[in-house]
Structure 1
């Protein structure tokens, strides 16, 4: 009797299990609801719903054909499989049943910039501008508890950690030129909500994955990690990368599982998983993934995680803090800004290939030219504003060279710059170091040493310039540039003349006010621009001297461009308000005044660095129209002349403009340009002003292929 009862119970249990399996199978087999109204079939880029699958197929690079099949399981978007083949060949499965994962960590944006603007009596700023200033804070580390230099210590409860959950009931497909976007709504991630999006691009093997989400909370600063889990250790047997020394490294699956993501400090930020039939690389966006910092230490931007004997995940990540014991470095880890109601695009890339790991890694590096700035005939590559201080924040470039005992000793900072392909660099010593405020003899000796240290660091095609970032007389911080090593003091004591002949240094100057500065620039053919506009110590500038004679002058060049300050992933343009808006407003204000246009100069504004650091993401450069690099003992006027005349373009490296011209006059003007690029282009924008209004035309370029 007892056995009979157990049999009935077992039969009942088996019946329930069978019913569950049938129900689950029916659920998974239901036709996928997918809105195809914005889809347009085109050659080499197709999407089709086949029962419970959305099948996306496209032509990649060379003769590769790629396929991703999407499904939804209990609200969870799933990559049913990722496959690749040579055109007309058999499909090679690189991944099956891959689950997207996202994690966000948020803190509270703090900052003193708005209060600085409120305290100004010489210029009134709108409430909107004052409130916006808090978002522009550079000296902020929202996840550093209690904080290195916080006036009010941060509290642990300010930090929230949130994982993505999905409740997708369908999807939508949109064709946008040569790309196809697949969107899964129903994402929730703590204070964020939105959708998951995949984008594929005809003519390239790239796959982009984004969380497109917003929050309604105020003052949210955040970072995210992302990836796909579910890769088979039977199919993909190892992950490969190069370490920060450039050495090949690998992790072969087969040992213990991981409890957490394993951060990998990979050179070039690329991690590749490899199997017998091909490889898949993962990597972050080369610049927009990275907020501005004081140093370029590689904090490990990719990860893998062995979840079981059979499965693993991989993706991209950011650390929660700088990982440094130097307070200044700890204090500058600002994260992304999520203004309320803005759609944050938390993106990352995968790259599928039939090749082994190293050829796949090289294919990914082609998108950044191997993290090197590509030489362009008729141009030399320039950037400005390095302090190169050591960790103690008092010893900069010149003193570091002199500590070695010889001016001929190359600093590793300079070695790293040359390896990037730079030709001309402007250093910014005397920024709190050496005798920067001495009225004469001590500073002049420092300047002589500074000039010699720069001179010895040069070669035939590489020039180091002894320029400065003073904070005197104009307001905020400025960069000052001369065509030779000019001796001047930043103070003018009572009784000191503006200029005099020194028996050791020759012509020297003493600057006591803004009028003296203007006379110095005129006398020595010098120029200046605004350092880090509208943030840091330049809060409120250049706005507050737009109408001053020192700025309404052709000696004033414009502003610095640093792409990673105020990083908001809802914006299509980097440094949109800080830099582009400032220059657009100035040029519109000065229209018809006879002044030459104000422009941008790329700057870096970071400290000690070396070849082991991850420099490329934090750099932006200026391509100057120059046939040759002037020598250290020659006149540097050709450099300043090219800047003043606008004979240059600025770039993060992936877009190059070999020539451009404006033809016609009045309202009938045509702009032509020869452009090359690596990643698929989003748009081209033309901006103009007539002295009253600023207008723009945005032209979509999503129909163009990668590597144009």
Structure 2
């Protein structure tokens, strides 16, 4: 009996130590990374990490042993081992998506955590491995992994020129109507770090000593990064800055990082990582879409430094320009759609008005030059009583004037949601007094002894008239979802939509799907193409659609911004007609912040008048871009009035931090319009407006 037990033990040991096949057929030896496959089931990878340093990974393919035998840097012939004997860990929570009641996968009004859901450890079963080259990147794929009905593989992506790499659990399910969340990180049974560092929500660096017996602590931080420090250096673990944050009404900081022992009571050892609160902001909480047979990329980034916590955090911050939209010559930044409700919460409530309220401080600190508000969102009296409505508007205008200055413009605006259908925003070039109702035979226009001209609006035709006479603009808010489900499609033939006063629609990264290489599920970017093919000269502006705005919030993750071609910020007292002129002429681009598009031309002509190519078969497309994260691709999108065409340019050869002018000669015969998108390795993106062709 003892012999049989010994034989079984020996066979199990041999099985665990069996050589795991490693395919290198798709590895390009010329891409600067070096790999070595050892007979003891280890795979060593070395890649140029910038500043004359090299990143080093030793992957352990033996079963039941930590995947990362070593993570470190080689600098000036010295090896800095920062992590040893550690595993990547993933914890996936699986819930049910409502695909019936509203608008399928574009739904926002879903409360997934209030329906049955269950969490699972992602199990890694090392059976095979492959190393491939994609441009300047090296990808190590290790199978197999599983959690409930999800199956897939681990992918580790190394970026030449950067001491940064990405770890992903790429999994799919055959089940329909699925929504997911995930937590992730690095865990080791050995004591890798002497202390943990992070920037608190007020941007103060904090460091706490590691106690191996400490239970896991969920930590609110700024810059979304948690750092492990040793005598040899530091490693920061952080998520993609926008992709990891599914859409919510509030940008609350929900303690998106963790550190400590025995994570989820499922992983033995001490670790650091990223996490989500399954209940979100306790409003509508849609999580991530996970349609059947889509490769969901549950991932996190790691940044290495041999110079300590301050340096590694500086490297993480650099990727998002310190969570600030950088200045760009010839452009000013504008953000739109904020339900801060300062008027009702402070002014109407008769509370003292601060010299500079927190929401203004937040916008200025984030590099936003101009803000378009959406006040009075179901909190005020848009339909009257008339005197109360006019007083509330006066409070709004006075507030915007008080908090605007030469370097910052606060523009009054609302989300009226009357007359047209669905939800929409408006922006006038100056203060306009108007009431969203007209009683009996009251005139549309009248003079008020205090406020001057006042408009009483009772239907869509009168609203269109108001926009025309006061030179305002309107557009569909959160098109094709939320309260605009079915819009603007349902009113695309209406006179107000065809009017040049109805600008188009607004884009936000909503819904969220980790399998896609763009943000937003195509909800609005596809609408942009549809509107172009309808023959309507419409534009798409970026919107945030957020409520509370406070310094401790995770604002940057949920924001986007529009770069408008303006040399200076208009003064509030002089009106902001130049802002509307730029929007109306499509002289702007929208970005999450990491990619900028200073120039986009067709045959050397930019926005404005339609381009008439002399030879459409040889149309010259040119654009300038600069970026932080390594880029994935650019896409030139065009249409002929019926169909949409995409020309994708592979940019995986780029490294972190660069700028480039790209020129392509395309056959645009029969095309009526063209536009541009650019997306990076963290699924951050930027897109231009449309240039029309004749």
Instruction: Normalising by structure 1, report the TM-score.
Output: 0.87
Report the Cα offset of residue 32 of structure 1.
3.5
Is 1:59 aligned with 2:11? no
Q: Alignment partner of 1:199: what SS?
A: strand
Q: Deviation digits for residues 482-533 of structure 1, max 9, x if unmatched?
A: 1001111111111111112222211111111111011111100111100000
Q: Deviation digits for residues 136-165 of structure 1, max 9, x if unmatched?
A: 222222113xxxxxxxxx4xxx21111111
Which structure is larger by alpha-carbon Rg, 1 or 2?
1
Q: 1:584 aligns with which of 500, 508, 529?
A: 529
* C-alpha distance in structure 2 between counterparts of 1:629 and 1:223, whole Å: 41
2:610 matched residue in structure 1: none
Q: 2:625 aligns with which of 658, 671, 675?
A: 675
1:313 matched residue in structure 2: 271
* C-alpha distance in structure 2 between counterparts of 1:404 and 1:282, whole Å: 45
1:332 matched residue in structure 2: 284
Report the Cα offset of residue 405 of structure 1.
4.5
* C-alpha distance in structure 1 between counterparts of 2:539 and 2:129, whole Å: 44
2:70 matched residue in structure 1: 81
Report the Cα offset of residue 660 of structure 1.
2.1
2:684 matched residue in structure 1: none
* C-alpha distance in structure 1 between counterparts of 2:431 and 2:168, whole Å: 49
Q: Deviation digits for residues 214-271 of structure 1, max 9, x if unmatched?
A: 11112111100111211632x421111122122222221236342xx32111111111
The correspondence of residues 386-535 of structure 1 with structure 2, limited to 5 A, is 386-389=338-341, 396-403=342-349, 405=351, 409-438=355-384, 440-535=386-481
2:125 matched residue in structure 1: 167
Report the Cα offset of residue 25 of structure 1.
6.8
The correspondence of residues 137-156 of structure 1 with structure 2, limited to 5 A, is 137-144=107-114, 154=115
C-alpha contact (below 8 Å) 1:427/1:464 kept by paired residues: yes
Q: Alignment partner of 2:286: what SS?
A: coil
Q: 1:204 aligns with which of 162, 177, 180?
A: 162
**What is the number of equivalent residue pairs in this alignment?**
643
Q: 2:519 aligns with which of 567, 574, 587?
A: 574
1:194 matched residue in structure 2: 152
C-alpha contact (below 8 Å) 2:428/2:472 kept by paired residues: yes
1:100 matched residue in structure 2: 88
2:172 matched residue in structure 1: 214
1:697 matched residue in structure 2: 647
* C-alpha distance in structure 2 between counterparts of 1:300 and 1:23, whole Å: 46
Q: Deviation digits for residues 404-432 of structure 1, max 9, x if unmatched?
A: 55556432122211111111001111221
Does the C-alpha gap of structure 1 residues 581 and 673 become closer, same or farther in structure 2, counting only changes over 3 Å? same
Q: Alignment partner of 2:67: what SS?
A: strand
Does the C-alpha gap of structure 1 residues 112 and 498 become closer, same or farther in structure 2, counting only changes over 3 Å? farther
1:379 matched residue in structure 2: 331
Q: Alignment partner of 1:550: what SS?
A: helix
Is 1:363 aligned with 2:315? yes
Q: Deviation digits for residues 388-408 of structure 1, max 9, x if unmatched?
A: 14xxxxxx5354244355556
Does the C-alpha gap of structure 1 residues 65 and 103 become closer, same or farther in structure 2, counting only changes over 3 Å? same
* C-alpha distance in structure 2 between counterparts of 1:678 and 1:511, whole Å: 47
* C-alpha distance in structure 1 between counterparts of 2:241 and 2:360, whole Å: 22
The correspondence of residues 100-119 of structure 1 with structure 2, limited to 5 A, is 100-110=88-98, 113-114=101-102
2:25 matched residue in structure 1: 37
Q: Alignment partner of 1:509: what SS?
A: strand
Q: 2:252 aligns with which of 277, 286, 297?
A: 297
Does the C-alpha gap of structure 1 residues 141 and 366 become closer, same or farther in structure 2, counting only changes over 3 Å? same
Does the C-alpha gap of structure 1 residues 405 and 321 become closer, same or farther in structure 2, counting only changes over 3 Å? closer
2:234 matched residue in structure 1: 279
Q: Alignment partner of 1:244: what SS?
A: coil
C-alpha contact (below 8 Å) 1:408/1:457 kept by paired residues: no
C-alpha contact (below 8 Å) 1:111/1:140 kept by paired residues: no
Is 1:626 aligned with 2:566? yes
C-alpha contact (below 8 Å) 1:271/1:283 kept by paired residues: yes
Does the C-alpha gap of structure 1 residues 25 and 352 become closer, same or farther in structure 2, counting only changes over 3 Å? farther
* C-alpha distance in structure 2 between counterparts of 1:61 and 1:231, whole Å: 31
Q: Alignment partner of 1:294: what SS?
A: coil
Report the Cα offset of residue 560 of structure 1.
0.8
Q: Alignment partner of 2:310: what SS?
A: helix
Report the Cα offset of residue 463 of structure 1.
0.6
C-alpha contact (below 8 Å) 2:344/2:379 kept by paired residues: no
C-alpha contact (below 8 Å) 1:198/1:210 kept by paired residues: yes
Q: Alignment partner of 2:603: what SS?
A: strand
Report the Cα offset of residue 623 of structure 1.
0.6
C-alpha contact (below 8 Å) 2:533/2:639 kept by paired residues: yes
Q: Alignment partner of 2:361: what SS?
A: helix
Q: Which moved more, 1:44-53 or 1:196-205?
A: 44-53
C-alpha contact (below 8 Å) 2:344/2:376 kept by paired residues: no
Report the Cα offset of residue 75 of structure 1.
6.8
C-alpha contact (below 8 Å) 1:138/1:536 kept by paired residues: yes
For structure 1, list consecutive stretches of 5 or more residues without a partner in the other structure: 1-8, 115-132, 145-153, 323-328, 390-395
Q: Alignment partner of 2:318: what SS?
A: helix
Does the C-alpha gap of structure 1 residues 224 and 255 become closer, same or farther in structure 2, counting only changes over 3 Å? closer
* C-alpha distance in structure 2 between counterparts of 1:254 and 1:406, whole Å: 46
* C-alpha distance in structure 2 between counterparts of 1:43 and 1:575, whole Å: 33
2:213 matched residue in structure 1: 256
Does the C-alpha gap of structure 1 residues 405 and 186 become closer, same or farther in structure 2, counting only changes over 3 Å? closer
C-alpha contact (below 8 Å) 1:77/1:166 kept by paired residues: no
C-alpha contact (below 8 Å) 1:457/1:464 kept by paired residues: yes
C-alpha contact (below 8 Å) 2:562/2:591 kept by paired residues: yes
2:583 matched residue in structure 1: 643
Q: Alignment partner of 2:416: what SS?
A: coil
C-alpha contact (below 8 Å) 1:398/1:449 kept by paired residues: no
Report the Cα offset of residue 102 of structure 1.
1.1
Instruction: Normalising by structure 2, report the TM-score.
Output: 0.89
* C-alpha distance in structure 1 between counterparts of 2:386 and 2:220, whole Å: 47
Moved over 6 A (4+): 19-25
Is 1:135 aligned with 2:80? no
* C-alpha distance in structure 2 between counterparts of 1:142 and 1:406, whole Å: 39
Q: 2:296 aligns with which of 337, 344, 354?
A: 344
1:4 matched residue in structure 2: none
